[in-house]
């Protein structure tokens, strides 16, 4: 194959762009992936008065000084779930925000309660109708999130840095992208202790200045590239990784008989991996499950499933977080995979299974990338429809994989 660089972390780009609403001047963000979700969030910022200017392919400058507390565009909000990330900073800056229901992937019920319960504890009043309306003067509070929601944590954090007094956020998410947001807020002048843990203490009300920031590498994209090498038997070097972000990912792939090597900031996947699922002690069927950070990321579960279809042995997949994410396996079964879907959260995979090319559809970002990997591993041609879902999360994925030797042809515009 060859060498590829991961894009900047999509899930860090979105909250960081939202956080520019808190700055008193233009913020320059580097290593921003040019994907549909990012473009949509930037359009939302422009809708409320921000100025957006790209400097090169992956650097954007956002100036929010002229923004106004106007209602957010319902059509744009419907396109991405990340529109909800504007709730915290808009409320913190203007004392009110009207937010239409967010869109995004259909992978099961995705609660917004955690966001609004936290903002209520900070002093906001919340009314729910055709849109969510929040208003109030924010003050510090001791808050225990009812679940370690990534975007809920990010909204609470962005509101807390502007709230007067001290806020303690407990049971928070600590994924790499949450840490990246916190570091950006610190660069703006915020006081945050406990970054990377499940408790953060914020000394709020500090003036926040314009800042520059470079996004870290997308660990989900890195995991997808490991899966690409595994299912095709090829070799790949992923240049520009952050080893601390990959511990649970590498442990999971090792269980599948895929063992990449770290060399500084490079991750090397040698050709022809063993691809033998390691049973639990006593020969029991092993289980791969996801969970909040630092456990195996839910966004890599679809990739792991495709890899497991090409590995020798039995594996139980336990997807804990989303009750509809596993439904895409029927498409893999149609391609020849041996998978039993036990219930919405569990599936048993028996491999290896030769896959056949099929006409399939991309149901969401991560399942869409998984279907692309399955198509590259399959005999014959496959057609993947609804590729806009993949492009919401992966930048120029067809041209980047073609450069590695993949045979991908885009049909239509």
Active-site residue list:
105
Q: Nearest 5°: CA angle at 307, between 14 and 410?
A: 60
- Which residues have a Cβ under 8 Å from the Cβ of 231 and sit 6 or more positions away? 306, 307, 310, 373, 374, 376, 377
Q: What are 176's two structure tokens?
A: 């790499």
Specify whether the CB–CB gap between 226 and 266 falls below 8 A: no
**Dist CA 7 CA 5 (whole Å):** 6
Please list the residues that pair with 135 across neighbouring strands. Answer: 96, 125
**Dist CA 341 CA 213 (whole Å):** 43
**Dist CA 305 CA 331 (whole Å):** 12
| Cβ-based burial of 270 (10 A; exposed 0-12, middle 13-18, buried ≥19) | middle
**Dist CA 219 CA 201 (whole Å):** 26
**Dist CA 207 CA 22 (whole Å):** 9
Residue 202 φ then ψ, to 5°: -120, 125
For 241-300, the DSSP string reads --GGG-HHHHHHHHHTT---EEETTEEEE-SS---BPPPPGGGPPPEEE--STTS--GGG
């Amino acid at each position: 194959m060859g060498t590829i660089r991961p894009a900047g972390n999509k899930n860090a780009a979105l909250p960081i762009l939202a956080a520019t609403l808190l700055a008193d001047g233009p913020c320059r963000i580097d290593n921003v992936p040019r994907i549909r979700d990012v473009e949509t969030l930037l359009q939302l910022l422009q809708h409320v008065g921000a100025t957006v200017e790209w400097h090169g392919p992956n650097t954007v400058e956002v100036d929010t000084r002229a923004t106004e507390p106007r209602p957010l565009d319902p059509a744009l909000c419907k396109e991405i779930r990340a529109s909800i990330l504007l709730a915290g900073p808009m409320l913190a800056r203007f004392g009110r925000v009207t937010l239409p229901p967010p869109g995004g992937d259909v992978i099961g019920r995705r609660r917004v309660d955690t966001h609004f319960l936290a903002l209520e504890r900070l002093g906001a009043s919340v009314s729910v109708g055709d849109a969510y309306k929040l208003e109030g003067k924010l003050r510090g509070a001791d808050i225990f999130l009812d679940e370690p929601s990534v975007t809920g944590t990010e909204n609470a954090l962005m509101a807390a840095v502007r709230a007067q007094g001290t806020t303690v956020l407990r049971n928070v998410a600590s994924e790499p992208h949450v840490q990246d947001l916190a570091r950006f807020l610190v660069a703006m002048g915020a006081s945050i202790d406990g970054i990377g843990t499940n408790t953060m203490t914020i000394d709020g009300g500090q003036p926040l200045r314009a800042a520059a920031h470079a996004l870290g590498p997308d660990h989900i994209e890195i995991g997808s590239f490991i899966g690409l090498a595994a299912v095709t038997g090829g070799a790949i070097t992923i240049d520009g990784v952050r080893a601390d972000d990959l511990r649970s990912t590498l442990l999971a792939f090792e269980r599948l008989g895929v063992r990449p090597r770290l060399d500084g900031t490079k991750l090397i996947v040698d050709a022809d991996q063993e691809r033998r699922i390691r049973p639990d002690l006593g020969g029991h069927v092993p289980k791969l499950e996801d969970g909040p950070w630092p456990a195996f990321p839910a966004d890599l579960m679809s990739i792991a499933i495709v890899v497991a279809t090409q590995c020798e042995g039995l594996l139980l997949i336990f997807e804990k977080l989303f009750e509809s994410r596993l439904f895409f396996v029927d498409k893999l079964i149609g391609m020849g995979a041996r998978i039993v879907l036990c219930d919405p959260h569990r599936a048993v995979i028996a491999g290896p299974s030769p896959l056949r090319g099929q006409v399939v559809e991309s149901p969401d970002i991560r399942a869409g990338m998984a279907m692309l990997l399955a198509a590259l591993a399959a005999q014959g041609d496959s057609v993947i429809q609804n590729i806009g879902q993949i492009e919401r999360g992966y930048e120029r994925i067809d041209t980047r994989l073609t450069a590695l030797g993949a045979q991908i042809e885009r049909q239509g515009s």
